[in-house]
Structure formats: C-alpha cells, structure tokens
A and B are shown apart, each in its own frame.
Chain A
Amino acid sequence: MAVALILVLVVVGSILFHILSPWWWSPIASNWNYIDHTLVITFWITGIVFAAVVLFMAYCVFRFRHREGVKADYNPENKKLEWWLTIVTAVGVAAMLAPGLYVWSQFITVPDDATEVEVVAQQWQWSYRLPGEDGRLGKSDSRLVSYENPLGIDPDDPNGQDDVVIEAADLHLPQDKPVKMLLRSIDVLHDFYVPEFRAKMDMVPGMITYFWFTPTRTGTFEVLCAELCGTGHSYMRGFVVVDTDEDYEAWLEGQSTFAQLSAPSTLGSADGVEP
C-alpha cells in the first residue's frame, strides 16, 4: 500500500516539479526556437510514458500484492500484446525523430547570405576575427601563432590583411543577420556555447568546425566553454553583444585590422618606442 502510494507520489511530484519549478531555459535570442519546440514535444511524449509506466506499476503493486491463498496467473507470453506495444512505441519514437531530423537538416544547412565570423579559442580565452571589407577571411595556421600574431593569420594571404581582429575582447553581432560561426582552436578542445542561442559546437585543433544562427534580439550574452579544456575551463568566459545596425557599425569602426595590428610602427608607438 505504502509502496504504491509512494510510486504515485513520485509521478505527481515529478510533474508538479516540472510545471511549478522556476528552473527553465533562458529566453531564446536566436532563430532556433524550432529546437525548443522539438524539446517540448519530447517532454510531452516522454512525460506521458513515464507517468503511464509508473502508475501502472503502482496499480499492480496495490492490486496484486501478496494475499494469503491467492495465486499468480500463469501467462508466459502474449504475442498480440507484445507486437501491439512494439508498434505503438515505434510510432512514438518516430514522432520525436522526424521533427528532430528535419530541424537538424536546417541546423547544418547554412543560408547563402550568412556572414562568416571566426571564433578562435585557446586556454582560456576567446578571440574573434571578422572578414573585413573584402568579405573573406585570410588563411590561418596554428604554426604561425606567435606573440605578435596570436591568431596565426597568414601574413602572405592578401585576403587576411583587412581581417578585423578582436583579441580577448567581446564580439558584437548585428541583429537579424544570419552568421556562420567558424570555430577554431589553437591548443585543445573547446566549445563555443551561448545558452540563449541554443546552438553550440566543439572547437578542435587542426580543423575548422561551424554552426550558424541568426541573433533575434539585442542584448549582452555570456559565452561559456562547454568542452573540458583544463583547469581554467569554468573561467573561460566572454560576451557576445547583439546590436542594432547603427550600434554595430559604430563598434566596428573602432576595431583594428590585421594589417594595422601587425604594422611595426603601430606596435612601436604603442610601446612608446620609435623604430
């Protein structure tokens, strides 16, 4: 009796917790509300199954608990029931998988008008690179990384000269413009993760990974590293600021290109020493 009651309470408690608790995802700031929808569908289907199975158990425990003189049924199998349950389960699984795969195909299909933004991770900070006026990022190689060239941009590639370099500072993005985030790491695995954008992807040294999204509201959002990258992992934070077009242009004006940063005179004057 008590056991059946507690099983019922586990179900009721879980459902109430889900509905009443204040812990839910942060308001979305990207186009990926499809992901949220699929997640909610999954919550419904799995919640119903969980409640059904545990309540059925509770009923059995209550109804068929041991009583003197009552013998259990002898019923090795029931082909019809087993097939019926198999088919219902398969349909339920398909109902989750189909929208999931559909949204995944959107997730990995980058729109043609997406602007490229490069994120460069290292222990334990975020840097960024924008393609500059030519709209193209120059080549890069982690073997070229040095104190003067922290992102390893190829100085011989003309496409790289006008690239905007944002070292260990915040990234700004214009609202409602799709961006393709090109992800690169120069040391270990990292993962570019902004909870409000819903998207994330590992960054792997030796290769360039990507994901895309469209920021849908202005604001300042925290960037976290979501792949264990050593002792500073939880301190690897940064911010992405989503701006209106005007604010974005104003911010962009204040940034330096790779050419400006690597010009010896600029460096020299910054150090207060004339060449």
Chain B
Amino acid sequence: MVDATPHAEQGVPPAEVPELELYHPKSWWTTYVFSQDAKVIAIQYSGTAIAIGLVALVLSWLMRLQLGFPGTFDFITPEAYYQFMTMHGMIMVIYLLTALFLGGFGNYLIPLMVGARDMVFPYVNMLSYWIYLLAVLVLVVSFFAPGGPTGAGWTLYPPQAILSGTPGGQSAGIILMLVSLILFIIGFTMGGLNYVVTVIQGRTRGMTLMRMPLTVWGIFTATVMALLAFPALFVACVMMLFDRLLGTSFFMPALVEMGQQLSYGGGSPILFQHLFWFFGHPEVYIVALPAFGIVSDLISTHARKNIFGYRMMVWAIVIIGALSFIVWAHHMYVSGMHPWFGFFFATTTLIIAVPTAIKVYNWVLTLWRGDIHLTVPMLFALAFIVTFVNGGLTGLFLGNVVVDVPLSDTMFVVAHFHMVMGVAPILVVFGALYHWYPKITGRMLNEGMGQFHFWVTFIGAYAIFFPMHYVGLVGVPRRYPELGDAAFVTDSVHTLNAFITVAALIVGFAQMVFLFNLLWSLRYGREAGGNPWRATSLEWQTPTTPPPHGNWGDERPVVYRWAYDYSVPGAQQDFIAQNDPGPQRAGVRPA
C-alpha cells in the first residue's frame, strides 16, 4: 500500500511569522458594498455573474425559438440572431463561467480551504470586483447603443468583426465589446494575482501543497493559466480596437467591401485567430479545471471515500494546464494555416485526452466500494461525469485533424462544446452551490426543489445537446439563423430542431425554480449547522457559520492531514477533519 499523504505525526512546523492584522470595516458601506472580505466579494462576483448569465439564458431561448420555428418570430432578423448568438457566447464563457468559478468560488473557497483569514491583497481584490462590474456594465450598455451589440460571433474574427456587413461592426457594438473585454482582463488580473499568491503564501501551518483539497488545486492552476492566457486576448483586443478606430492594419489585409476599396493593407486575419485561440483554448480549461477540482471534492465527500489517486489527480490537473497551451490551433484546422500544423496540433490534442481520461477513471473509481449518499450535490457530480465524458469523447472527433474537416463549423461543434464546457461545468456550479450554500448562509437549500431542478436540468440538457451532434453530422452549419431549403437537409431535421427548442425552453424554466430556491431557502431553509455534510476540509471547521470577516476567530486552524480522510479504518466517525490532530494515521491502510 502506497502512502499518499504525509503522516499526521510528521508534525506541523511552528509559526515563523506573526499574524497580520486585517482591516476591519467600520461602516455598512465598507461591510457590504466596498467590502474587502473575500467572502463578500465572492457573493458580489457570483450575483453579478448569475444576473448577466440570465441575460445569456434568455438570448439562448430567442436563438432556439428562431432555429426551431424559423420564420415565426419577425423580430429575430439575421442581424438580431447574430447579436443574440455573440452575446450569449461571450457572456457564458467570460462573464459567467470564468467570473463565477474564479471570482466567485475562488474568492469564497481559497482562503477558507487553505486556512487563511482573507486574500493576501484585500484592497486589490475589492478593485477586481468593481472593475469586473464595470466590464459587465459596458457590455450591457452595448445592447442599448445605436446599432446594437456586436454580432461578430464570440470569436470576433476580423475582418468581418469591424466591417459594415456585421451588426455593430461600424457602430459602437464592437468597440464596447472590446473595451469591456479589456476591462474584464484588468479586473481579472487583480483578482487572479490574489488567488495565486494566497495559495502560495497564505496557507495555514501544516497545509502543505499536497494536502490541499483538489478544489484549490483546480482553481489555483486555472488562475495561473488565466494569468498567462488572458494577455493574448488583451493584445488582440487592443490591436483590433486600433484597426477599428485608428485605421491601423494589424489584422486587416487589402480588401474590397461591397465594391469599395478600403484603405487597409498588409494585416493578417489569421494572426488574430492565433492570438484569440492562444487565449481561447486555455480558457476552456480555465473553466474546466475548477470544475474538475470541485467535482472531485463533491464525489469524495458524498461517497464518504477518499478521492482515488490524489497525487495522480494533482499531476493530471497540472499537466492538463500545461498541455492546454500547445493545442490552440486545433480550433483552426480549416482556417487556412499551414497544413503541417495539423500533425502537431492533432497529436498534442489527443495526448491531452490521456490525463483527462485518468481524471475520469479516478472519479468513477472513487465511487467503487464507497458509501454513496445520493444527495443533490452528488447527483450533479454524477451528471457532470456523464456529460463531461460525452463531450470529451466528441472532442476526439474534432481534435483528430482530418475527422474535424467535415465536422468543423457544423452543429456538431456547437453540440460538443456545449456539452463539455457548457453543460458539464454548469452542472458542477449547481452541485457546488447546493454543497456550499449551507456554509454561505447557514441554511440548506430545499431538497425537493433541488431534485426537481436536477432531473429536469440533466435529462433536459442531454436531450438538447446529444441529438444536436447528429444535426451537425447531417451537415447543418453552425451560425445559420435559418437553413432554408437544402437538399441534404430532410424534413426530419427540422422536426429535431423543434424538439431541441422545446427541451431548451423547459430546461431554462427549471433554472427559475433554482433561483427561487436560492431566495426561499435563505429564509425558510433548514438550519444547517457548521458541517452538514460531515466533510473534512477546513471551510467546514470554522468556529461560526456563516464565517465572519477573518474566518477563524482567535486562532487559525492547524492542519494535520490531507483533505480526504473519509471512512478511515478504526476511526470513530466516517470522517476526520483536516485540523484534527487525532491519533489515526492518514493515508495508510492497517495490515
């Protein structure tokens, strides 16, 4: 038997530096609005992200109405459709998922899980949220600007993004989009530095790196990646802004628009694509890695069993994070880049499948001989595995360069990425909210509403996106507001599209039940106590729930073991908290 974690009796080093004083708020404003408490900032981030996410949800309904019942809704013109599509994608990827996982869960969980009193730079952390809010507001303003928001697709490919044939291209839409992204990246960088430094510098005594919960590992690695990837998007946005406003030609070759020779010349549209995807591919994992980490902890806690292969899980996160920086051009197999790139990027892309598969194996092997409590968070974790495996496997079609050729730019791609980075991470978000809501509020979310929400969301989302792959296999291109008559599209495809739309509407409405539950349980939820799931990690061991500013009362916890001492043989309970100095040796099975 291999020992996966340092023994309790290896001891804990004495404190070498005295504790720092926190700035405690003196007024209502500095407690709840301009707060420097990471937990308040987390709630601000999450609330803003969910609010703008609701806009994206409504936009998806509008798109689906058009696709399912083309010609029925006069106000959904092609221009409007492209605007809905662009804003839906951008909001979901950047302003909802990235902000929620890193700004929301990162802020709430990192200090608590590593035993810190707060983030290391609380003031900068506060600025991070307010700049994020500003970015969201600029995005919202673009809906009301003359000409509306940009309809260039979330990838914003030039030249069309800044030309008149695209909605918002020659009006304010694209400018506001780029400004909003630039602000987002500035705000994120402030928060991101905090998350990284807090993990490196702010851990409590005994919390070695290899004792950290995988949630922290996932968020930490994703943040490091984001700090390296977002600058590529930043420069791309700045350069495109110059092309649009100052007439530079970073991405603009000589071209003729609607019979008019434009004054651009010498730029490269493909350069933008490389910059965009150098950010865009790691972005997929910036969303996925926190989900990987969180789901590992949900499965372990609710199966009452240590996560299987913890060290392998940590290394898989780190390796996936590193590899994800050399796979970006698999989004560009048919972009016209040099065809030899195909060999390299197909190989790296399929290699990344190996550590990803290991993570999946370890999740399901954690269930083996577990004591599985089918709580709502656990149900979401199981559904995550199903949808993530499904979406990950279709990635093997699209990553394998020549198989991508017929499928690229079809609905197959839309189905793939929604399954793998839409549905799967959002199921984790839900699971995580059901899991940590009691710590945040002191009350449990309603179980009945949770079950309803889970089943409609899981089955519904699968019914939306699984058949959608086959629409793409037929050959239906993505980004088509309507198909019109095409010989290869049979009537049954239109029927399937209508079915998908109905499923999407139902899943959307189920989210209203969830939102209601969030508010209802705040007042009427069952009292949770400090550790309702009987979990080991530090956030459940706070002296008061919800934890106040400073988290730990008089003394920070000291950590004696890893985060996965569930069902340890010989122990009285089926879990041993990380700060429990008890005699049971961790990580060793008795002979």
Contact = CB atoms under 8 A, between A and B. Distances in A.
Contact of B397 (A46, A71, A93): A46
A237 B483 CA distance: 11
Contact of A25 (B390, B474, B487, B567): B474
Interface of A: 3, 6-7, 10, 14, 17, 21-26, 32, 34-35, 38-39, 42, 45-46, 49-50, 53-54, 56-57, 60-61, 64-67, 70-79, 81-82, 85-86, 89-90, 93, 96-97, 100-101, 103-105, 107-108, 122-123, 141-143, 145, 147, 152, 183, 186-189, 191, 193, 195-196, 198-207, 209, 220-222, 224-235, 237
B72 interface: no
A39 to B, nearest CB: 5
Interface string B390-410: 100110110011110111111
Interface stretch (B188-196, B229-237, B372-380, B501-509): B372-380
A65 B259 CA distance: 68
Interface of B: 1-5, 78-79, 82, 151-153, 157, 159-160, 163, 165-167, 169, 253-259, 261, 267-270, 303-306, 308-312, 334-336, 339-340, 342-343, 346-347, 350-351, 353-354, 357-358, 360-362, 364-365, 367-374, 379, 382, 385-386, 389-390, 393-394, 396-397, 400-403, 405-410, 459, 462, 466-467, 470-471, 473-475, 477, 479-484, 486-488, 490, 492-493, 496, 564, 566-569, 574, 587, 589
B587 A76 contact: yes
Given A49-B393, A205-B159, A100 B400 contact: yes
Contact of A200 (B157, B408, B459): B408
B477 A74 contact: no
B567 A60 contact: no
A123 B257 contact: yes
Contact of A35 (B268, B403, B492, B564): B403
B336 A209 contact: yes
Contacts of A205: 159, 253-255, 269
A198 B406 contact: yes
List 5 A-B pairs, minimum CB-CB distance, nearest first.
A206-B253, A195-B475, A230-B165, A209-B336, A73-B369
B409 A191 contact: yes
A17 B496 CA distance: 12
A229 to B, nearest CB: 6
Contact of B255 (A17, A53, A186): A186
B364 A66 contact: no
Nearest to B159: A188
A54 B389 contact: yes
21 contacts: A14-B466, A23-B471, A39-B403, A49-B393, A50-B389, A50-B390, A57-B364, A57-B386, A64-B371, A64-B372, A74-B569, A77-B311, A82-B362, A85-B358, A93-B354, A202-B335, A204-B269, A205-B255, A224-B477, A230-B163, A231-B167
B256 A186 contact: yes
A42 B354 contact: no
Nearest to B375: A66
A253 B273 CA distance: 42
A42 B398 CA distance: 10
A97 B334 contact: no
Given A142-B254, A226-B477, A3 B374 contact: yes
Contacts of B160: 188-189, 228-230
A23 B336 contact: no
A59 B406 CA distance: 37
Contact of B487 (A74, A75, A222): A222
Nearest to A108: B339
Contacts of B409: 191, 193, 200, 226-227
A66 B401 contact: no
Given A23-B474, A76-B1, 14 more contacts: A45-B396, A54-B386, A72-B371, A75-B306, A89-B358, A93-B350, A122-B256, A143-B261, A187-B255, A191-B409, A205-B255, A220-B487, A225-B477, A230-B169
A142 to B, nearest CB: 5
Contacts of A225: 477
A232 B165 CA distance: 8
Contact of B4 (A77, A105, A207, A221): A77
Given A46-B397, A188-B160, A224-B477, A198 B405 contact: yes
B566 A72 contact: yes
B353 A231 contact: no
A53 B389 contact: yes
Contacts of B153: 228
B400 A108 contact: no
Contact of B369 (A72, A188, A221, A228): A72
Contacts of A198: 405-406
Nearest to A195: B475
Q: Mostly helix, strand, loop or mixed at chain A's interface?
A: mixed
Most buried by A among B268, B406, B480: B406
A145 B400 contact: no
B396 A96 contact: yes
Given A24-B473, A89-B353, A222-B488, A46 B336 contact: no
Contacts of B346: 97, 100-101, 104
B391 to A, nearest CB: 10
A234 B473 CA distance: 18
A39 B82 contact: no
A46 B574 contact: no
Contacts of B459: 6
A19 B365 CA distance: 30
Nearest to A22: B492
Contacts of B360: 53
A82 B312 contact: yes
A35 B353 CA distance: 21
Contacts of A76: 1-5, 306, 308-310, 564, 587, 589
Contact of B382 (A3, A67, A231): A3
Contacts of B347: 97, 101
A72 B254 contact: no
Contact of A191 (B259, B334, B350, B385): B334
B473 A187 contact: no
B402 A100 contact: yes
Nearest to A76: B4
A14 to B, nearest CB: 6
Nearest to B155: A228
Most buried by B among A70, A103, A105, A227: A227
A75 B308 contact: yes
A70 B309 contact: no
A204 B564 CA distance: 53
A145 B132 CA distance: 45
Contacts of B361: 82, 85
Contacts of B312: 77, 82
B405 A229 contact: no
Contacts of B269: 189, 204-206
Nearest to B267: A206
B385 A53 contact: yes
Contact of B410 (A73, A204, A226): A226
B358 A82 contact: yes
A96 B406 contact: no
Nearest to A204: B336
A224 B478 CA distance: 11
